[in-house]
Amino acid sequence: MIFRYTMFFRIKVNFRSSGISVMLACFIFFFSGTMLSAEIVYLRDGKVLNGVITREGKDGIFLKSGDSEKEILQKDILRILYGNQEMEEVYVLFKDGRITKGFLVDQDEEKIVLRSERYSPDERTIQRRDIREVSKDNIFPADLEIFLKPMYYLPVDSGGADLEPSLSFLAGMGFNSMITSNLRIVLETGYIKSESSTNDKQSFQVIPVTFSFEYRIGSPDFFAAPRIGAGVGIMEFDTGEGEVKKSNALDLVAGAGLYFRMFSRVYVGLFCDYMYLYDGSDSLQNVLAGISCAYRL
């Protein structure tokens, strides 16, 4: 009796377990089938439709969304994506340093397709060989550059020293800030020497060390770059009478330049800066103008 009851109990439990398993399998199959059959239909007029394709023929498809079903002609369809994945806004960093953003429509191993606006039919195909990075967040590449600036030094007000114009140079490095992609931080130094036009024994020399912000306006291939900065000027003035005065001065700089990309990593341009030096007792006003040659690492 006990044996028969035990066997009945086991059979009943197994039956119930099998029933639950079958119901669970049907449930998973039904919903997984629904999820897998969800599609996104991109129309040629820019519209984007979500739903399930119930029928498909040579002239078009029938798309079910909610309780309604509509026919869409094949000539109106741009593409169909499976998986119900919404377009995401992404930032694309090119290997040449350019940055663009758009809505990611499609991608594969060789290319990506972007829209400038979510519901615009205008699309752009970008080859992956030209891309350095794709990100959902804004991209701030360092884009480190080193530069050399041979220039013409023109003293505007030398405080009675009658300094002559002279050839000088600046050199330094620049990189993108984390504030915005167009704002760059520039660190530079150089050497300037000028002699007096009235006393050939008098001379002035300064080593400026400047920290400045440069904002680039235009395209990656041609742009204007106004800047403003401050630093210190290590000055030395030979009076011509056996006395050499040394001092450290406040160095204020403001100016702008025009630059263009000559090669993939090489930029050249013209610049003009106003430099003000003040050491606590005397001040010098100067203009720096010349050529900039930069190489992006």
Q: Which CATH number is 247's domain given?
A: 2.40.160.20
Tell me, what's the pLDDT at 119?
Answer: 80
Tell me, what's the pLDDT at 274?
Answer: 97
* Residue 128 CB neighbour total at 10 angstroms: 12
Verify that 155 and 290 share a domain, yes or no. yes
Is 256 inside a domain boundary?
yes
Is 247 inside a domain boundary?
yes
DSSP H helices, 159-271, are none
Is 52 inside a domain boundary?
yes
Region 59-64 average pLDDT: 82
Q: Is 212's pLDDT higher than 50?
A: yes
**Over the stretch 99-108, which tens digit does the pLDDT of each residue have?**
888 998 888 7
Q: Is 53's pLDDT higher than 90?
A: no
Range of the domain at 64: 2-82
Tell me, what's the pLDDT at 2?
Answer: 42
Instruction: Name 154's Cβ contacts closer than 8 Å, sequence gap at least 6.
Output: 165, 286, 287, 288, 289
**Over the stretch 90-141, which tens digit does the pLDDT of each residue have?**
899 887 777 888 998 888 778 888 988 888 888 889 998 888 888 888 877 7
Number of independent structural domains in the chain: 3
- Measure the CA dihedral 145/228/178/138, to 10°: -90
d(CA 173, CA 244): 32
169: which 2 tokens?
């140079």
Verify that 117 and 184 share a domain, yes or no. no
Instruction: Name 143's Cβ contacts closer than 8 Å, sequence gap at least 6.
Output: 97, 175, 176, 184, 296
Backbone angles phi and psi of 86, in degrees to 5? -75, 155
d(CA 174, CA 147): 8
Residue that terminates a domain, selected from 96, 113, 135: 135
**Over the stretch 1-30, which tens digit does the pLDDT of each residue have?**
444 444 444 444 444 445 555 455 555 444
Verify that 74 and 118 share a domain, yes or no. no
Verify that 30 and 125 share a domain, yes or no. no
Verify that 41 and 101 share a domain, yes or no. no
d(CA 291, CA 33): 66
Taking CA atoms, 277 is separated from 159, 208, 213, 228, 282, in Å, by 11, 9, 18, 14, 8
Q: Which CATH number is 110's domain given?
A: 2.30.30.100
Is 140 inside a domain boundary?
no
Is 282 inside a domain boundary?
yes
**Over the stretch 143-160, which tens digit does the pLDDT of each residue have?**
899 999 999 999 988 766
